[in-house]
Amino acid sequence: MSVARFVIIGAIALAAAIAAPLSAARPSQLTLDPTAWRVDSQNSAANFAVRHMLVSTVRGMLGPVSGTVSYDGKDVSSIRADITIDVKKLTTGNTDRDTHLRTDDFFNADKYPVITFKSKRIVPGDPGHFKMVGDLKIRDVTKEVTLDVEGPAAILKTSKEQRTAATATTTVNRFDYGLRWNSLIETGGAVVAADVKITIDLQITRNP
C-alpha cells in the first residue's frame, strides 16, 4: 500500500470516528422539554386598576406579556413561571396619562422597560385554584408577592399545538415599588390611590 493511500484511508477513518459521537449527540440536543410552554403574547394580557380621585377606577394594560411556563399538564405543583411585561407599551386610552405613567414619576419606562415575575413556589388550593408565590420586579425594586390563580383550564389539544390558560390576580402598593408621585385633591384624598390591582390573563402553548 502506498504512503498516499494509507494517509487517505487514515483520514477517512478519523473523520468517521469524530462524526459518530456528534451524530449520536444530536437527538438529545433536539429533544424538547415535555413540560415547557410558551406564553402566547397575542392572547395574553396584563391589566391594572387603581382608584382615581376617590370616585372612579382607572383601568389600563401594563403592556404585552411574554415568557415561559413549566407545567407537566397534570399537577399544579409542577408549575413554574417566568413572565415579562413590556411596560413601555402601557396604555390606559389617555395619551397624556400614558406619557406621565412612563416617566420617572411612575414606571420610568426608558430606564426600566420591563416588569418581571419569577415564581418560587405553589400553594395548592381547591380544584381550579391555587396560589403562586414569586418575585415581582418593578423598576429596580423586587418584592415577594402572592398571586391568586384560577386555572389552569383543561388542555386543548390539536394537531398543531396544545393550549391552556389561567388568570392570576394580586394587589400591590405602588409606593413599595418607587411609584411615588402623589397629589391631593381639595378634600385631602389622593388623586391616585396606593393600592393597584393587577390581573394577568395568560394563554400558553406547546408542541403536541
Q: Give the predicted TM-score (pTM) of the model.
A: 0.80
DSSP string of 96-157, one letter each residue: HHHHHHTSTTTT-TTT--EEEEEEEEEEE-STTEEEEEEEEEETTEEEEEEEEEE-PPPPEE
For the domain that residue 118 is a member of, what is the CATH number?
2.40.128.110
Structurally, the chain folds into a number of domains equal to 2
How many angstroms separate the Cα of 48 from the Cα of each of 15, 58, 154, 167, 178?
A: 60, 8, 26, 13, 17
Residues 12, 104 share a domain: no
Q: Which residues of the chain have pLDDT under 70?
A: 1-32, 52-55, 183-191
Domain span at residue 21 reads 1-31
What pLDDT score was predicted for residue 39?
A: 98
Residues 45, 9 share a domain: no
Q: What is the DSSP letter of 91?
A: B
Residues 41, 24 share a domain: no
Residues 97, 18 share a domain: no
What pLDDT score was predicted for residue 192?
A: 79
pLDDT digit string, tens, across residues 16-66: 444 444 444 444 444 468 899 999 999 999 999 998 655 679 999 999 999
Residues 93, 27 share a domain: no
Residues 104, 8 share a domain: no
What pLDDT score was predicted for residue 181?
A: 80
Residues 71, 14 share a domain: no
